[in-house]
Chains A and B, each alone.
Chain A
Amino acid sequence: MKPSITTRLVVMFALGALATFVLIGTALYGVLDRELLRHQNDDLNTNLQNMRYSIERFGDLEHWARLQTKMDTLTPADGSVRFWVLSDDPRFLYGKGLDEMERVNQGEAGHGLLSLSLSGRTYRTLSMRLAAFNGRPPVRLIVGVDTASYEHTLRAFLLALTLLSLGAVVLVMVLGWWIARIGLRPLQRLSAQARALHPKTLSQRLREDRLPVELEGLTIAFNGALGRLENAYRQLEGFNADVAHELRTPLANLIGGTQVALSRPRSAGEFQETLQSNLEELERLRSIVNDMLFLARADQGEAATGLTPANVAHEVKMTIEFFEPLLDETGTTVAVEGERGAQAMMNVALFRRALSNLLQNAIEHSAAGARLVVTITRRAGVTWIAVANPGPTIAPDHLPRLFDRFYRVDTSRHDTGETHGHGLGLAIVKAVATMHGGATLARSDAGITTIAFSIAG
């Protein structure tokens, strides 16, 4: 069975109530027991003092007979109070079951507990020694009170207490169930809302107002997750559209070019021309597909393999060397700054690929004769490689999205054929960084755009 909050609460309420009642009941029982004992003792004392006064004043046998009558009168028919007088002189004996009384060796004026076999009763007793007077020898006066009624009271009290406590526990459980239901009502409202979320309406959220503080954190977290999902979903939708768009242009060129070529008789040279043009488009398609496969692998969490320790500055230098023809052509210069001695574990091919994408970007987005700066920094075990180029400042809201696939700051620049690559360059930089446990960063202000990636280790 699934755990239920209501059940848990009811059980906890019940246990709490039970514990409370047991404590209070035990205390009450103790008080009652003590009070009853005191009451019995008072009773005993009263009877004892009363009879002692009568016995002590007279010493002759005539009075003794009257005293015996008095004790008979004072002894109730149910035998709940009894008197005994013990003496060496048999004439001055009184009471039933005296042989047993003899065995009760009580101290001077002591209390005691006594079971009498003749009636099966238990008596609480109080005794006192009385000195000899006139013709009467010293006697021992014993008063007994039957404890049965007191025990009955105690038992009745205990039974009532137990039954009342159990009843109260049941009542607490019922109330607790009701309280839990009411208390959990906001949760039910929330799950009803969550159930009502429609897969098509991604912008829908759970309402955060009118909710108790306890549920606020959960709701905010849940809404946050919904927001991220929505973003990812929108990105995916946009991504699909971008891919389709990116593939459509070369495909249209291929189909159109081939159709034109085949529409009338042509020379071999013209067909050759068409095939060459087709090949260029196909290479473009292949390059997009390969890059997307690469990105997909990075998305699936594939880490870079073949890591070797390498001098970062050396790899930067090798990559810049690759760009030398292009740099010469545009009159661009590249300066390498920062920690030239930095060593890092890297997949050299991937590192060069990422850096060459950054350099290509920087050259494309700066005017001829610009000065680019590659900065190597190392902090907290992470190596950052930043490429800065002078160029138009990119608005801050574009910066975090630069690394998205097919994202272009200037949408009008689409398909001019002037740029190389197909809008995946920075996405690949990010993928390489991710595969190396690193991150990316873009900054643009005061006419300098800096794009950086990091590798761990």
Chain B
Amino acid sequence: MKLLIVEDELKTAEYLQKGLAEQGCAVDVAHNGIDGQHLALVHDYDVIVLDAMLPGIDGFTLLRALRAVKQTPVIMLTARDSIEDRVRGLHDGADDYLVKPFSFLELLARLQALQRRGRAQEPAQLKIANLQIDLIARKAWRGAERIDLSAKEFALLAVLARHQGEILSKTAIAELVWDMNFDSNTNVVEVAIKRLRAKVDNAFAPKLLHTIRGMGYVMEARADEEPAP
């Protein structure tokens, strides 16, 4: 994925560039609106991450100038969670927005969602190592053994499996599974993951549901956790 980051705050730009490059993206960085506009218009990016407050040309102006020429997907970064900024950004043609302070994981998730957009229909079956999930029949197996899950447990498993290899924060999980669209200060997700893990992972190998401390959870088959003998 080829990305352009337009962000005047140097430290932010630096960690975004580093993090996204490590995720396999080709990242260009502009530190002001004028350079940003030039790069955005000259090159074809998959996604542009655009700060709203910029020296030179502000983000909204840049966005309008860009939209006059092309439809590159844009994620706006705004400092204030104000309705006006949001409406203005979306009205001017932003595809998504993030409010500072945002987490890197959240940005990654939004980028992946933008990339997935317009992709072919999801498969009806998901398979991770020996975990098999039938999204239509809403059933899951570990090897040959059927796993008995409640509706919400299945929904949680499906969300994790759909995003396999992606780290999902607790907030993202609460949103995707329960439609709880806010930073909740509860340990509900931890408990739910613990219970799901007891059913899906505890009695089986390899372990698929991993906790990334401080960040969230990821479902993936890891090379160093090959089936125990």
Contacts and interface: CB of A to CB of B under 8 A. Distances in A.
Q: Which residue among A289, A319, A322, A350 has the maximum number of chain B CB atoms within 10 Å of its CB?
A: A322
Interface in A324-368: 324-326, 328-329, 349-350, 352-353, 356-357, 360
Contacts of A297: 81-82
Interface string A257-301: 000000000000000000111111011001101110110010000
A349 B214 contact: no
A318 interface: yes
B188 A322 contact: yes
A430 B99 CA distance: 23
Given A305-B83, A420-B187, A325 B195 contact: yes
Interface residues of A, number: 39
B182 A349 contact: yes
B186 A356 contact: yes
A356 B214 contact: no
Given A322-B178, A325-B195, A329-B191, A290 B186 contact: no
Nearest to B153: A325
B188 A326 contact: yes
Interface string B162-183: 0000000000001000111111
B59 to A, nearest CB: 20
B215 interface: yes
Interface in B68-87: 81-83
Q: Which residue among A293, A328, A356, A422 has the maximum number of chain B CB atoms within 10 Å of its CB?
A: A356
A294 B183 CA distance: 11
Given A286-B103, A318-B178, A318-B179, A323 B214 contact: no
Contacts of A325: 152, 188, 191-192, 195
Contacts of B185: 287, 357, 360, 420-422, 425
Given A322-B174, A323-B188, A329-B191, A352 B180 contact: yes
Nearest to A422: B185
A322 B181 CA distance: 12
B66 to A, nearest CB: 27
B184 A353 contact: yes
Contacts of B187: 326, 420
A420 B188 CA distance: 10
Given A289-B101, A360-B186, A321 B191 contact: no
A356 B184 contact: yes
A14 to B, nearest CB: 59
Interface residues of B, number: 24
B167 to A, nearest CB: 12
B116 interface: no
B213 interface: yes
Nearest to B195: A325
Given A279-B214, A279-B215, A293-B81, A321 B182 contact: no
Interface in A404-424: 420-422
Contacts, number: 75
A297 B83 CA distance: 11
A278 B83 CA distance: 32
B152 A324 contact: yes
Q: Which residue among B81, B192, B215 has the maximum number of chain A CB atoms within 10 Å of its CB?
A: B192
B51 to A, nearest CB: 18
Contacts of B192: 325
Contacts of A326: 186-188, 191
Interface in B12-62: none
B101 A290 contact: yes
- The majority secondary structure among interface residues of chain B is loop
A422 B179 CA distance: 23
A288 to B, nearest CB: 10
Contact of A276 (B179, B195, B214): B214
Contacts of A287: 183, 185
A289 B192 CA distance: 26
Contacts of B215: 279
B12 to A, nearest CB: 14
A328 B184 contact: no
B181 A349 contact: yes
B101 A286 contact: yes
Contacts of B81: 293-294, 297
B213 A276 contact: yes
A39 to B, nearest CB: 92
A19 B82 CA distance: 65
Given A325-B188, A328-B195, A352 B213 contact: no
A293 to B, nearest CB: 6
A177 B114 CA distance: 81
Given A286-B103, A297-B81, A325-B188, A279 B180 contact: no
Nearest to B87: A305
A321 B191 CA distance: 13
Contacts of B183: 287, 290-291
Q: Which residue among A302, A325, A326 has the maximum number of chain B CB atoms within 10 Å of its CB?
A: A325
Contacts of A277: 213-214
Contacts of B179: 318
Given A279-B215, A286-B103, A328-B195, A353 B186 contact: no
A358 to B, nearest CB: 11
Q: Which residue among B83, B103, B178, B188 has the maximum number of chain A CB atoms within 10 Å of its CB?
A: B188
Nearest to A290: B183
Contacts of B213: 276-277, 279-280
A318 B191 CA distance: 17
A286 to B, nearest CB: 5
A202 B112 CA distance: 56
Contacts of B214: 275-280, 282-283
28 contacts: A279-B213, A280-B213, A280-B214, A289-B101, A297-B81, A305-B83, A318-B179, A319-B180, A321-B178, A322-B174, A322-B180, A322-B188, A323-B186, A324-B152, A325-B188, A325-B191, A325-B195, A328-B195, A329-B195, A349-B181, A349-B182, A353-B180, A353-B182, A353-B184, A356-B184, A357-B185, A421-B186, A425-B185
Given A326-B186, A360-B184, 10 more contacts: A277-B213, A287-B183, A297-B81, A318-B178, A319-B180, A322-B188, A325-B192, A349-B182, A353-B180, A360-B185
Interface of B: 81-83, 101, 103, 152, 174, 178-188, 191-192, 195, 213-215
